[in-house]
Amino acid sequence: MARRRHDALDISNNAASISRKLFSELLAALQRHRAWAGLRARKPIKDAPGRSQWGRIKEAANRHRFDHAALWHEVYGNGPRDESTNGIVSLRSGWGLELGPDETLADLFYQQMEEYRDSKILADTLGRLAALGLTARWSEAVSGEQRESATEEGAA
């Protein structure tokens, strides 16, 4: 019993650390989009994933906590560029934000999470990452009001 508690704590700690790192990378990707699109610092990014997208991911992570395949399919469908499926992360739902030539926010998010696709920490990591996406830090980064210290804070 104590071993299971210890394993659960390790999973939770790993998921928290991974989700903070991935969130910082997503915040940096918003800055890459700004540079790619030629947006000034205080200009809002149009069509970025918003609270509803992050909320849907968090709900999916809670609902499919012990079914990694179902969670992966609900979040990503058949991949970020396959519009024949209705994954939460699709090009038409804010995740199609261009980061450079032939790279979107959906591509980056898919690549970030692919390592954890069949892992015990998938649901916990996605849930924690979505919770970070629901914070003011994401909203500020999208609106163009993010402070430099907030980006660094996300990396901590």
* pLDDT per residue as tens digits for the range 20-72: 999 999 999 999 999 999 998 889 999 999 999 999 999 999 999 999 999 99
* Residue 6 confidence (pLDDT): 44
61-104 pLDDT per residue, tens = 999 999 999 999 999 988 767 666 678 998 888 899 999 999 99
Position 51, amino acid = R
What is each CA distance from 131 to 5, 22, 102, in whole angstroms?
A: 23, 12, 28
Whole-model pTM: value is 0.85
Instruction: State phi, psi for 76 to the nearest 5 degrees.
Output: -110, -10
DSSP H stretches of helix in the chain: 2-37, 51-63, 68-76, 105-114, 122-133, 136-143, 148-155
Q: And the tokens for 84?
A: 């024949």
Tell me what the mean pLDDT of segment 3-27 comes to.
Answer: 78
Task: Look at residues 107, 105, 87 and name the one whose alpha carbon lies nearest to residue 97.
Answer: 105
pLDDT at residue 152 tops 60: no
Q: And the tokens for 97?
A: 């934000």
* Residue 155 confidence (pLDDT): 44
β-strand partners of 100: 103
* Residue 78 confidence (pLDDT): 80
